[in-house]
Every structure is written in C-alpha cells, then in structure tokens.
Amino acid sequence: KAGVTQTPRYLIKTRGQQVTLSCSPISGHRSVSWYQQTPGQGLQFLFEYFSETQRNKGNFPGRFSGRQFSNSRSEMNVSTLELGDSALYLCASSFSGDRDQYFGPGTRLLVL
C-alpha cells in the first residue's frame, strides 16, 4: 500500500507570494491533518480535514487555509508569505476512527 505523498518536496518563494502544497493520503484514509515544523516552535498543528470538512483548526492566522477533495486529497495554501513561514510542512492521514496518523515526507518551504 502506498504511503502518504506530498508535493512538491522543496519550494522556494519570496515574501508576499502565495503557495499551495498538496497531500495524497493513504488509500482508504479519510482524515488528513497538516502540521508545521520549525526549529523554534517544533511541531504545531495547523488543521484537520475529514470528508471535505475542516474538523479542527490550530492557532494560525487566516493566511493559512486548506481544503479537502472528494478523493480525500488535501491542499493547504499560505497567502502573503512571511519569512517566518519557512518550515517543513507535514501532512498526516488516518483511517476513520483510528488515531494512528501516518506522515508524509513533508514539503520544505523556504521564504526569501
């Protein structure tokens, strides 16, 4: 069974631009969560989607948004990028009702 895939793996953007990251969950998994990992703040929860609905949201500004499609694939968008948005963005999927979350390799975003 294929694991969680994330595209792109690496991204370089400049301040003020916007970016869209993609996540394809494990087949059959309907829950997708996003996390931001930085050296200073560690791993922080962004949001979780289940059946195309945002079910939980972390403490991030409105510049961070996401969505989920009917095939459970998810995207997250960051608008008006800031230098502090440079991070590894991790996506995780889980089967409905199971708390085991399986992570993708991440997208490393560098904002210049």
**60 part of the interface to another protein, by CB under 8 A:** no
Q: For residues 85 and 65, give the distance between their C-alpha atoms in angstroms, rounded to a whole number.
A: 13
The stretch near another protein (CB under 8 A) out of 11-19, 60-68, 74-82, 86-94 is: 86-94
Helix (H, G, I), strand (E, B) or coil at 27: coil
**58 part of the interface to another protein, by CB under 8 A:** yes
Q: Are strands 5-7 and 107-111 parallel, antiparallel or unpaired?
A: unpaired
Residue 10-49 contact track with another protein, rule CB under 8 A, x = bound: ---------------------x-x-x------xx-x--x-
Q: Which residue has the tokens 């996506």?
A: 91
